[in-house]
Structure 1
């Protein structure tokens, strides 16, 4: 299956509202508001509707402002291959792994009701913001290991030991939540520190 189609970067940027095909089931959908997104239409092998006909399904691949044309073609090819094998891309596509900062911010929001006061909650996220986010905040949460954690702790371990101990606890909590949501495997790297 070819990764080149009818669309070009210039066409993607200039098309008016509608559904514009690239070939092989990949479409650029332009809303009347001007928003642009990619979809791929596939037929999952073995799936039939009530009348026994194959079921065509559209899957979103992301906004055209974030996902460039070449990447949309690669994702569309991946989805078509899954469908050809009888796998539904909705359940079998690789999930986007969130960053450490994204998970940390969600943990902060989820735990707000458990803190004694608002100041404690603010200190919790501020410690991560000041010492972890600059070093590992943008990293996918599944790629953080012991060296990355130590990178955060090293500069403050002797000068601000109490802060470092709190930082260890908070990083551990974030990585534990990431594992519970299926974004990490294995032992938490903080456990051995």
Structure 2
């Protein structure tokens, strides 16, 4: 009878297989290019920085200023069109539902208006003055800044006329009229007025 109690024979290979990592020539070439680029950037980083500061600062500042102003122009135009659409569709506040809709439109307008104010005081005004200080106040760049500021004032007045109309709507409901007057007063005087839209829901 065959004996099945024999122990398994362990593999005692004296030369175990080694893991060989093979890199393709393409990977090696790409790695070499990256290393060379990093070395060149390290060598010329100081010169590039000085070039940007000395030669392109005015143009860079002017670009930042123009981008900020374009965003503000879009905000002013968007607010004006949205208010005009409401004025054409709902010229009278008849009840609490129409008041709630009016509050929603006004609240959206106020939020975008605050975004525009942040851009104005954080970017447009300081960067515009830096453009003048860097390039001189009697230059083409400063002339562009001045023209854009004038256009900003015109658009702001154009958009503000619709806001004035939103504060002069007729209210046929006495309860809604009291709340309407309260919000109009807060909208014009407070930075973060409480529109109380959720409480009316």
Larger relative contact order (CA 8 Å, sep ≥ 6): 2
Same fold (TM over 0.5): no
Q: TM-score, normalised by structure 2?
A: 0.23
Q: TM-score, normalised by structure 1?
A: 0.24
Greater C-alpha radius of gyration: 2
Higher relative strand content: 1
Higher relative helix content: 2
